[in-house]
Amino acid sequence: MNRILFAASVISGVSLAAAAHAMQEPQQQPGPRCGMEQVDKNGDGEITLEEIEAARAERFKAADTDGSGGLSREEIEAARQHRREMRRQCDPRQMRFNRLDADGDGKITREENAAAANARFDRMDANGDGVLTIDEMPARMHRGHPHRK
């Protein structure tokens, strides 16, 4: 019973820390569900006690690979390895790299970088005329720069 409580508390603690981190910079592209996304099942930007309990039960069930209702040392280690891999995948640098690496070969080519830049331009070009005006530029590009409005 102590192993179960220990494993459950470890898993829930990691999830809450990841949720707090994810609130700082939400993920915008498909990929692994990171941080708060993992717990906030209805996507309302708030985590309820019910969502926390459901996420905890889901993680425990996933870790209990033999369905025994308890976690063996091997299952706990496998869950730790899975969390490590998810943290690596949820690293903001890794996520950006993955978005740019369109063919998934582990390298970003000049063409992949250009395609991403063109896609970003197209998203900002609100009226689709092929020209960006100051009004179409994201507000965050203006903050903190004395020479920008």
Map out the domains of the chain as residue ranges: 2-99, 108-141
State the pLDDT at residue 67: 92
Q: Which of 68, 65, 91 is nearest to 78 (CA)?
A: 65
State the pLDDT at residue 145: 52
State the pLDDT at residue 7: 47
State the pLDDT at residue 27: 39
State the pLDDT at residue 136: 86
State the pLDDT at residue 19: 43
Q: Which residues contact 22 (CB under 8 A, 6 or more apart)?
A: 34, 35, 36, 37, 90
**pLDDT tens digits, the chain, 149 residues: what are they?**
555 555 445 455 544 444 444 444 333 444 566 667 778 888 888 888 998 898 889 889 999 999 999 999 999 999 999 888 888 777 888 888 888 998 989 999 999 999 999 998 898 888 999 998 988 887 666 555 555 44
- Rounded to two decimals, the pTM is 0.43
Q: What DSSP line would sit under the chain, residue for residue?
A: -HHHHHHHHHHHHHHHHHHHHHHHS---SSS---THHHH-TT-SS---HHHHHHHHHHHHHHH-TT-SSS--HHHHHHHHHHHHHHHHHTSHHHHHHHHH-TT-SS---HHHHHHHHHHHHHHH-TT-SS---GGGS-GGGTTT-TT--
